[in-house]
């Protein structure tokens, strides 16, 4: 089944310990779409300016991402400028230029409403709510957010969460959202906010999922080098929903396998600058890494 | 096979969010011995003052811990005073009174030299080195340390590490020891320092083990409440070496199972104040928690 992904497409200036990377293709929905495309076709709902490179759209199209729902504005593409220092644990923002993102109106039309699996990547919760309200009979809505919205748009975010099936956050975000320091307890608290399931991404420390009753936890795939953490969370989400959309059913076991897939996919993302690595990852790459991951984690089951 | 555990016994003043706990039994070797005693008999090498409660020694003896190598000094017992705040991630020290620990001379005599598995809990690396030099034909030496020694006694620590089989540290400590922020890379660096194996404890984020070639990673057992983190690392180590000492062989698979055991044992420790919980944990308790842990981690194998 095709997946709908709603979020940003961007041109970023990225500073990394290995060098400066100006005007590279980024954005939450770009990363998520490339990851989901490992498993399924994607309808990408976003907005770009005239400066977004044609090669970027072609790349997405070649991966099975339909960009015909990407609105082309006369205003420049959303731009983020930031850098990572040696510890790679946190992105430091120098500048954010919303540009054409201010015009983003993600109301899904009849045509865009054919898909049952929707990922709302990180944008203003007001826009996420608008998008969700326009979705007809979704099977599963996955939502990502970030500290900025939790701090500055909490009421909107809380309203939006009521309409969400799965919330995806990182460890800092869930603490901020719930006011609870113990992540396990915080995950339980999320169940009172609407989502039926919550996943906490912890970067190098792995991830943990809670469905209101049971937990499932995974360590990260060990990497000697992290080249660029940008997009790790988005590709985690994209591959997660991409895998789910192709599954025979949505039982707990399927969600657990989707979490393994998400963990492995994002481990590739951080090995390249921007979309460099994720743009070419195949199911076979994941399969190979899964063999190594099994030995590292004791997970024995078949996934693909 | 009996395990030898060398380290501190203490009377601590502990401040926790749930209350104040003055003069409670603590110390790295106390915690580690109680944990190892789940699997094996323990020879405890330590030093106490006349103020150490008789009931404490009786408790240890009843668990199969031989305290006849515990020297009783005329000086008061080692005393640590500190507290944890809500986030429970770091102990804040108010005061450390070494007291009788200044007289600690852990040279193993003929009688104490019958055991092949030795855990050197966190003490001055100078003492650890002294102890190791006195050990005859050990099978396995496991060593713990802490930030203080890495910062203030690095030359002694590095010399000691050359004689150690397994190094056990937390994520902050390994970064400080190696000067490398990426834990995976830092673990590789440790292989150049002497140990043939390194384990990084990451508290709520689980643990990871490296033997120079392969990694094995585990998430922590999810807990809604952490009552008191004191002794978690020591009971991790104690149960790890206790399990190893009883194993048929020391192949990689045995080490992996020992890590699961360590992870589960320390998850009990933090549920009680001081030794409250760990002092009564049995193999059956671990077995029960393992059933739940398997579902959470996808680890299928038999361990006990």
Model confidence band, residue A88 (pLDDT cutoffs 50, 70, 90): confident
CA-nearest residue to B209 within chain A is A296
Model confidence band, residue A115 (pLDDT cutoffs 50, 70, 90): confident
Chain B positions touching A298 (Cβ under 8 A) are 216, 218, 256, 260, 297-301
Chain A positions touching B299 (Cβ under 8 A) are 297-299
Chain A positions touching B218 (Cβ under 8 A) are 219, 297-298
Is 90 exceeded by the pLDDT of residue B90? no
CA-nearest residue to B215 within chain A is A296
What are the E-state strand segments in chain A? 3-6, 10-16, 19-26, 42-48, 65-66, 70-72, 78-83, 92-97, 117-120, 140-144, 166-170, 197-201, 207-210, 215-218
Burial class (CB in 10 A: 0-12, 13-18, 19+), B12: buried
Q: Please tell me which of the candidates B87, B181, B217 has its beta carbon nearest to residue A222.
A: B217
Burial class (CB in 10 A: 0-12, 13-18, 19+), B92: exposed
Percent of chain A with pLDDT over 70: 98
C-alpha to C-alpha distance for A94 and A83, rounded to whole angstroms: 8
Instruction: Tell me if B257 sits within 8 A of B303, measured CB to CB.
Output: yes
Mean pLDDT of B97-102: 95
Test A298 with B299 for CB contact under 8 angstroms.
yes
Q: Please tell me which of the candidates B88, B188, B217 has its beta carbon nearest to residue A296.
A: B217
Q: Please tell me which of the candidates B183, B215, B296 has its beta carbon nearest to residue A204.
A: B183
Mutate which: A222, A224, A260, A267, vs B, most B CBs within 10 A: A222
C-alpha to C-alpha distance for B121 and A220, rounded to whole angstroms: 28
Mean pLDDT of A271-297: 95
Percent of chain B with pLDDT over 70: 98
Chain B positions touching A87 (Cβ under 8 A) are 181
Q: Please tell me which of the candidates A88, A206, A217 has its beta carbon nearest to residue B222.
A: A217
Residue A200: helix, strand or coil by DSSP? strand
ipTM > 0.95 (yes/no): no
Mutate which: B17, B182, B185, B294, vs A, most A CBs within 10 A: B182
Phi-psi region of A19 (alpha: psi -120 to 50; beta: other; left: phi over 0): left
The mean pLDDT of chain B is 95
Mean pLDDT of B54-81: 97
Interval B275-294: pLDDT, tens: 999 999 999 999 999 999 99
Mean pLDDT of A128-144: 94
Mean pLDDT of A172-189: 97
Q: Residues with Cβ < 8 Å from B99, sequence gap 6 or more?
A: B49, B75, B76, B77, B78, B79
C-alpha to C-alpha distance for A289 and A64, rounded to whole angstroms: 23
Phi, psi (degrees; rounded to nearest 5) at A72: -105, 110
| Sign of the torsion angle spanned by Cα atoms B291, B295, B297, B302 | positive
**Long-range CB contacts (< 8 A, 24+ apart) of A283-292?**
A283/A38, A283/A39, A286/A38, A286/A261, A289/A221, A289/A264, A290/A260, A290/A264, A292/A221
Instruction: Tell me if B231 sits within 8 A of B278, measured CB to CB.
Output: yes
Interval A203-242: pLDDT, tens: 999 999 999 999 999 999 999 999 999 999 999 999 999 9
Instruction: Tell me if A228 sits within 8 A of A245, measured CB to CB.
Output: no
Question: What is the token pair recorded at B130?
Answer: 């002294």
Model confidence band, residue B258 (pLDDT cutoffs 50, 70, 90): very high
Mean pLDDT of B227-235: 97
- Closest approach of chain A CAs to the CA of B195, in angstroms? 19
Model confidence band, residue A117 (pLDDT cutoffs 50, 70, 90): very high
Report pLDDT for B303. 63
Chain A positions touching B214 (Cβ under 8 A) are 295-296
Is 70 exceeded by the pLDDT of residue A300? no
Is 70 exceeded by the pLDDT of residue B92? yes
**Residue B118: beta bridge partners?**
B4, B141
Report pLDDT for A235. 98
Q: Output the DSSP codes for A29-81.
A: HHHHHHHHTTTS-EEEEEEE-TTS-HHHHHHHHHTTEE-TTEEE-SSPPEEEE
Report pLDDT for B105. 93
Pairs of CB atoms within 8 A across A/B: 99
Test A184 with B223 for CB contact under 8 angstroms.
yes
C-alpha to C-alpha distance for A295 and A219, rounded to whole angstroms: 12
Q: Which residues of B touch A (CB under 8 A)?
A: 86-88, 181-185, 188, 202, 204-206, 208, 214-220, 222-226, 256, 260, 295-301
Test B219 with A208 for CB contact under 8 angstroms.
yes
Q: Which of A31-45, A103-117, A132-146, A184-198 has the lowest mean pLDDT?
A: A103-117
Report pLDDT for B166. 98
Q: Which residues of A touch B (CB under 8 A)?
A: 86-88, 181-185, 188, 202, 204-206, 208, 214-220, 222-226, 256, 260, 295-301
Report pLDDT for B24. 97
Percent of chain B with pLDDT over 90: 90
Q: Which spans in B195-282 are helix H?
A: 232-245, 252-269
Q: Residues with Cβ < 8 Å from B285, sequence gap 6 or more?
A: B268
Chain A positions touching B215 (Cβ under 8 A) are 222, 296
Q: Residues with Cβ < 8 Å from B29, sequence gap 6 or more?
A: B5, B6, B7, B8, B9, B44, B45, B46, B121, B234
Mean pLDDT of B221-243: 97
Q: Residues with Cβ < 8 Å from A18, sequence gap 6 or more?
A: A227, A273
Burial class (CB in 10 A: 0-12, 13-18, 19+), B272: middle
Question: What is the token pair recorded at B148?
Answer: 């203080």
What letter does residue B224 receive in the DSSP assignment? S
What letter does residue B199 receive in the DSSP assignment? E
**Long-range CB contacts (< 8 A, 24+ apart) of B54-59?**
B56/B9, B56/B25, B56/B30, B59/B25, B59/B275, B59/B279
Interval B116-135: pLDDT, tens: 999 999 999 999 999 999 99
Chain B positions touching A220 (Cβ under 8 A) are 217
Chain A positions touching B190 (Cβ under 8 A) are none
Question: What is the token pair recorded at B1?
Answer: 């096979």
Model confidence band, residue A113 (pLDDT cutoffs 50, 70, 90): confident
Pick the more confident residue, B111 or A144: A144
Q: Please tell me which of the candidates A215, A219, A220 has its beta carbon nearest to residue B296.
A: A215
Chain A positions touching B183 (Cβ under 8 A) are 204
Test B218 with A220 for CB contact under 8 angstroms.
no
């Amino acid at each position: 089944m095709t997946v709908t992904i709603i979020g940003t497409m961007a041109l970023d200036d990225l500073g990394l310990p290995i060098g400066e990377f100006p005007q590279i293709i980024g954005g939450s929905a770009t990363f998520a779409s490339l990851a989901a495309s490992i498993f399924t076709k994607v309808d990408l709902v976003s907005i770009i300016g005239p400066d977004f490179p044609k090669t970027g759209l072609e790349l997405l199209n070649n991966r099975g991402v339909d960009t015909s729902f990407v609105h082309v504005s006369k205003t420049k593409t959303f731009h983020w400028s930031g850098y990572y220092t040696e510890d790679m644990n946190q992105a430091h923002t120098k500048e954010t230029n919303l540009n054409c993102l201010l015009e983003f109106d993600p109301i899904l039309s009849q045509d865009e409403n054919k898909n049952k699996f929707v990922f709302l990547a990180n944008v203003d919760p007001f826009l996420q709510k608008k998008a969700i309200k326009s979705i007809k009979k979704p099977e599963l809505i996955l939502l990502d957010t970030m500290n900025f919205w939790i701090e500055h748009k909490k009421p909107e975010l809380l309203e939006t969460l009521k309409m969400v099936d799965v919330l995806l956050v990182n460890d800092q975000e869930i603490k901020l959202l719930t006011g609870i320091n113990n992540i396990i307890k915080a995950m339980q608290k999320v169940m009172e906010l609407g989502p039926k399931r919550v996943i906490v991404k912890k970067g190098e420390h792995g991830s943990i999922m809670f469905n209101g009753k049971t937990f499932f936890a995974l360590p990260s795939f060990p990497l000697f080098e992290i080249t660029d953490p940008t997009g790790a969370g988005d590709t985690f989400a994209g591959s997660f929903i991409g895998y789910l959309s192709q599954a025979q059913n949505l039982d707990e076991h399927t969600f657990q396998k989707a979490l393994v897939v998400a963990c492995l996919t994002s481990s590739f993302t951080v090995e390249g600058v921007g979309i460099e690595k994720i743009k070419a990852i195949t199911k076979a790459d994941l399969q190979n890494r899964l063999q190594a991951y099994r030995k590292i984690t004791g997970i024995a089951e078949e996934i693909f």
